[in-house]
A = this chain, B = another copy of it.
Amino acid sequence: MNSHDTHVGGPDLAALAALLADGTRADFCLALLDGRAWTAIELARHAGVAASTATGHLNLLVGGGLLTQERQGRHRYVRLADPDTAELIEKLASMAPRRADPPRSLPAANRDRALARARTCYDHLAGTLGVAITEAMTDRGMLDWEQGLTLTGDGTAWLAELGIALPPATRRPPVRSCLDWTERRPHLAGAAGAALCRHAFDAGWITRIGTSRAVALTDTGERALTDRLGLAVGTHTPAG
């Protein structure tokens, strides 16, 4: 026996980490980081495992509180349990080593380029677009990074103009910085980031590309961002 039981009542860090220490479960969580609900079979195919294997993993993840599920007919929908969980996975992803070298196919490369350009990160925007919006907001004095990330009066006003009212001080911070693992630069997350992303979908600024977590900036969106943020977005001619 080793003396793990000396620390009874303390956090069982290993149990939580073990949930994410398997390649397949980690794949599931990274996929779910797009904030949407997936069915068991979608995840299984995505990770390349048998359905029975996926069932086992989902039971563990749901049991461990990382995912929540919802049954609809013969489908089992799962999603990340809450923003806190998404934050944990983001943090792990930002600190984790990269995978081995990329001897990749052309379609895969295209898919990845779309993903790097603009995508959802749980409930907010990431990728080049997410970073660009964040930096434009900073340049216009809507965000302040001096004393931790804060939303200025101008920022609150700008959001209000869009019809976005922030919820009153909950446990969740209104603005939070999230490290982008393709750009390696922070972008806007938290309640305000989520609200802004929701608005971007609702107003038709962005749309999903197929069923992936990648999003495309529409012409409407491009115009809106130019008008409202002075953002010159080169999304149609990727500079990479």
A56 contacts which chain B residues (CB < 8 A)? Answer: none
Interface centre among A4, A94, A149 (most CB of B within 10 A): A4
What distance in Å separates the Cβ of A88 from its nearest Cβ neighbour in chain B?
Answer: 6
Cβ proximity bits A1-41 to B, threshold 8 Å, 1 near / 0 not: 11111111111111111111111111101100000000000
Partner of A9, one of B24, B91, B98, B150: B98
What number of A residues sit within 8 Å (CB to CB) of B? 70
Contact indicator A48/B98 (Cβ below 8 Å):
no
B148–A13 touching, CB < 8 Å: no
Is there an interface contact between A13 and B174, defined as CB atoms closer than 8 Å?
Answer: no
> Is A158 at the interface (CB under 8 A from chain B)?
no
Q: Are A99 and B3 in contact (CB under 8 A)?
A: no
Residue A92 interfacial (CB < 8 Å) = yes
Known A-B contacts A49-B2, A95-B85; A20 and B17 likewise in contact (beta carbons under 8 Å) = yes
- Complex: how many Å from CA A158 to CA B108? 55
Complex: A88 Cα to B94 Cα, angstroms = 10
A209: CB under 8 A from chain B? no
Beyond A14-B23, A147-B151, whether A95 also contacts B99 by CB under 8 A is no
Q: Is A93 an interface residue (CB 8 A)?
A: yes
Q: Say yes or no: is A175 at the interface (Cβ < 8 Å to chain B).
A: yes
* Chain B neighbourhood of A15, CB < 8 A: 96-97
Nearest chain-B residue to A94 (Cβ)? B11
Note all chain B residues with C-beta closer than 8 A to A151. 147-148
Within 8 A of B (CB), among A139-183: 145-151, 169, 173-176, 181
A interface residues (Cβ-Cβ under 8 A, vs B): 1-27, 29-30, 46-49, 64-65, 84-85, 87-89, 91-104, 108, 112, 145-151, 169, 173-176, 181, 190
6 contacts between A and B (CB under 8 A): A2-B47, A2-B48, A3-B48, A8-B99, A8-B104, A148-B149
